Amino acid sequence: MPDNAIYFELAYAATAIVLGGYIVSIFWRARAIRARLLAERSVEGR
Amino acid sequence: MTSPAKPAPLTAPRIRTPALDPLLTLGVVAFIAALVRAAFFTPPDAAQGMAQKILYIHAPSAFTALYLACGLVFICSGLWLWLKDERLDRMADASAEVGLAFMTVVLITGPLWGRPIWGAFWTWDAKLTSSLFLWFVLLGYQILRGAVEEPQARARFSAVLGILAGCLVPFIHLSVYLFRTLHPMPVVLKPSAPSMPNEMLVSFVFSMSAITLLFAGLLRARYRLATDRAELEHLEARR
Amino acid sequence: MPPDLLSAALIIARKDLAIEFRTRSAFFSVVVFSLLAIAIFYFAFDPTAVSSADLAPGVLWVTFAFGGLLGLHRSFGVEQAEGAMDALLSSPIPRESIFLGKAAANLVFVLAVQAIAIPGVVLFYNVGGGMVWLTIAGVTILAAIGMVAVGTLFSSVVVNTRLAELLLPLLALPFFVPIVTSAAQATLQLLSGHGATPAANWLKLLAAYDLVFVAACTWIYPHSLDA
């Protein structure tokens, strides 16, 4: 059996970083938009 | 809290509260479980070693990015031209971005598998080339959307790009296929897919379902972001 | 009575070509760019490793793609001044005609540039061929049709974005991949004397690309405009 575990480890780590980073990016953007949206709504409702 | 908010106009989407999307949470948990199962509870391949385990991420991500995400972009773009419903535009936006994330995973994991198994990070094979250019098109799609302020124009332009990209993919595939048959490349060690042992098959089906679930969760979270952003644009435009 | 699809397209094409012919600014810039690019490419490769004749098709078609982009972005750019585009849209001609006319003018433009760039490649890269160049002229026409169809459409889209001409190569180049591949391979096959048979497959691919994208772009162009 060839010893190529390093590629497997790199691939799994890279996947976790890319998808994890993407989830965090969605989360932060959603939070920022919602904060602005709520501020805008309170102006509307007044 | 001050006075109660006025009822939102019919076109404006309503607020949604959950901070932790249940579908996304489920997708993330299933994905982690699938990774753990593939990494620690699945035997490595006798011929390919540990690198074979990259398949459990690579193939389902490719399926998700190519067929689910890009298919959805193409269908939503086409339907948008017909129905002009802004929800279709948001769905195209969301699936293009989630598709870009999965396509990035595909393009990273692919070469990491290719290096130990084929002996090269990259070959200009039809599938690889199509994926690479599709990645570029998805990136261009995001940049195009970012470069247009007006929501109507943004929807029109991205629908146009979404449909044309759908027409492009078969041509890239065909031209690279023709390129390769005219220029036979040095034979790379391409192991024929052996019938998978049961344990590996279960891991594969598990990660396939988990990644599809993760895609659905990400798509929904991203779609909500688009909805909120649309409402924000709507409110800001009225001022 | 409003003119029909094709005669209206002809009016648009003549208008664009008249503007181009009177100013000639874009044409000369693109020609000079193409010749410069062809010359620079020569020094980017090792002539002892790859014979310049083998390099020529690649150089020719890559230059073609980039030179084309340079010329195409101006196609709708000229309509930006003084609300010319609004006047064009409110005129009683079908919107498909605006697209077809613009694309036809761009086709003439691109072919005129190639009429200078191809002899430039023949001269600088010492490629013979003789009568083969007649067939290559056919390849050029097929490649140019597909390129201007996609390029004209994206040109109309990008002039309305914040990034304008910066965005055009980003969107259009992936669409030029099948064109550049097919045209360069067909040229290579023809020049290396393998006859027309291996080149024919590439020409078929180019023809199919033209058919699909001319139809798709003409149909979709009115949808890219404000209703």
**B13 located within any domain:** no
Q: Report helix, strand or coil for C134.
A: helix
Average pLDDT on C147-153 reads 96
Nearest to C171 among B161, B171, B175 (CB): B161
Contacts of C178 (CB under 8 A, 6+ apart): B168, B171, B172, B174, B175, C146, C205, C206, C209
Q: How far apart are CA A10 and CA B117, in angstroms?
A: 15
Over residues B224-233, the pLDDT tens digits come to 999 999 999 9
More confident residue, A46 or C134: C134
Residue B1 pLDDT: 39
Whole-angstrom distance, CA of residue A15 vs CA of residue B57: 8
Residue of C nearest to B150 (CA): C161
Residue of A1 and C61 predicted with greater confidence? C61
User: pLDDT category, C4, cuts 50, 70, 90?
Assistant: confident
Whether chain C lies against chain A with 3 or more Cβ pairs closer than 8 A is: no
State yes or no: pLDDT of B10 exceeds 50.
no
Tell which wins on pLDDT, C201 or A20. Answer: A20
Q: Which of residues 103-132 of B touch A (CB under 8 A)?
A: 104-105, 108-109, 112-113, 115-116
CA distances from B29 to A21, B36, B135, B214 (A): 16, 11, 27, 9
Asked if the Cβ–Cβ distance from B171 to C163 is below 8 Å, we say no
pLDDT tens across B113-123, in order? 988 888 888 88
Question: What mean pLDDT do residues C118-147 have?
Answer: 88
B5:A29 CB<8 A: no
Domain interval for residue C28: 5-224
Residue B58, pLDDT score: 93
pLDDT digits (tens, 9 = 90+) for A2-40: 788 899 999 999 999 999 999 999 999 999 999 999 888
Is residue C61 scored above 90 in pLDDT?
Answer: yes
Most C CBs within 10 A among B131, B178, B183, hence the mutation to make, goes to B178
State the total domains in chain B.
Answer: 1
In this complex, which of A10, A30, A43 lies closest to B221 when CB atoms are compared? Answer: A30
Using an 8 Å CB-CB cutoff, list chain B residues near C163.
143, 147
- Residues of chain B positioned with their CB less than 8 A from the CB of A24: none
pLDDT at C100 over 70: yes
Instruction: Please indicate whether chains B and A are in contact, defined as at least 3 beta carbon pairs under 8 Å.
Output: yes
| C182-205 mean pLDDT | 85
Q: Is B11 within a domain?
A: no
Average pLDDT over residues C4-10: 89
In this structure, what are the phi and psi dihedrals at residue B49, rounded to the nearest 5 degrees?
A: 70, -155
Whether C150 sits inside 8 A of B164 (CB atoms) is yes
Higher-pLDDT residue of A15, C126: A15
Q: How confident is the model at residue B155 (pLDDT cuts 50, 70, 90)?
A: very high
> Lowest-confidence range among B69-78, B182-191, C185-194, C215-224?
B182-191
Q: Do A30 and B24 touch (CB under 8 A)?
A: no
Give the percent of chain B with pLDDT over 70.
86
Q: What is the pLDDT of residue B2?
A: 45
Q: What is the pLDDT of residues B131-143, one digit of tens each?
A: 999 999 999 999 9
pLDDT for B130: 87
- pLDDT score at B193: 53
pLDDT surpasses 90 at B70: yes
Q: How many domains does chain C have?
A: 1
Q: Which of C54, C152, C157, C168 to mutate to test the interface with B (most CBs of B within 10 A)?
A: C157
Residue B190 in any domain: the answer is no
Residue with the two structure tokens 């593939």: B38
Asked if residue B214 is part of any domain, the answer here is yes
Per residue in B209-225, pLDDT (tens digit) is 999 999 999 999 999 99
- pLDDT at position B108 is 95
Q: Which residue does chain B place closest to A22, by CA atoms?
A: B101
Cβ neighbours, 10 Å, residue C130: 6
> Which pLDDT does position C86 carry in this prediction?
86
What token pair was written down for B164? 């044309």
Strand partners, B45: B49
Q: What is the mean pLDDT of residues B4-13?
A: 49
pLDDT at B182: 59
**In this model, does residue C181 exceed pLDDT 50?**
yes
Distance CA B223, CA B220 (A): 5
Could you tell me which residue, C59 or B195, shows the higher pLDDT? C59
Q: Is residue B230 part of a domain?
A: yes
User: What ipTM does this complex have?
Assistant: 0.92
User: In this structure, what token pair is assigned to residue B34?
Assistant: 């699938």
Residues of A in contact with B105 (CB under 8 A): 14-15, 18-19
| Residue for token pair 């470069």 | B147
pLDDT score, position B184: 53
Q: For B52-70, what is the mean pLDDT?
A: 92
Say yes or no: A24 contacts chain B, CB-CB below 8 A.
no
Query: Given this model, what pLDDT does residue B187 score?
Result: 46
Contacts 24+ apart (CB under 8 A), C198-202: C198/B182, C199/C135, C199/C139, C201/B178, C202/B178
Decide which of B208 and C79 is more confident.
B208
Q: What is the pTM of this model?
A: 0.89
Provide the pLDDT for residue B191.
Answer: 52
Phi then psi for residue B45, to 5 deg, are: -70, 140
Taking the CA of residue B162 and the nearest CA in chain C, the distance in Å comes to 11
The mean predicted confidence, pLDDT, of chain B is 86
Tokens representing C207? 């023809």
pLDDT of amino acid C23: 83
Q: Does residue B14 belong to any structural domain of this protein?
A: no
Between chains, do A18 and B5 touch, taking CB under 8 Å as contact?
A: no
Q: What confidence tens digit (pLDDT) does each residue in C8-51 have? A: 999 989 998 998 888 877 899 999 999 999 999 888 887 777 78
Report the pLDDT value the prediction gives residue B15, as an integer from 0 to 100: 52
Confidence band, pLDDT 50/70/90 cuts, at residue B183: low
B72 in any annotated domain: yes
* Residue B40: domain span: 22-184+200-238
pLDDT of residue B123: 85
Percent of chain B whose pLDDT exceeds 90? 59
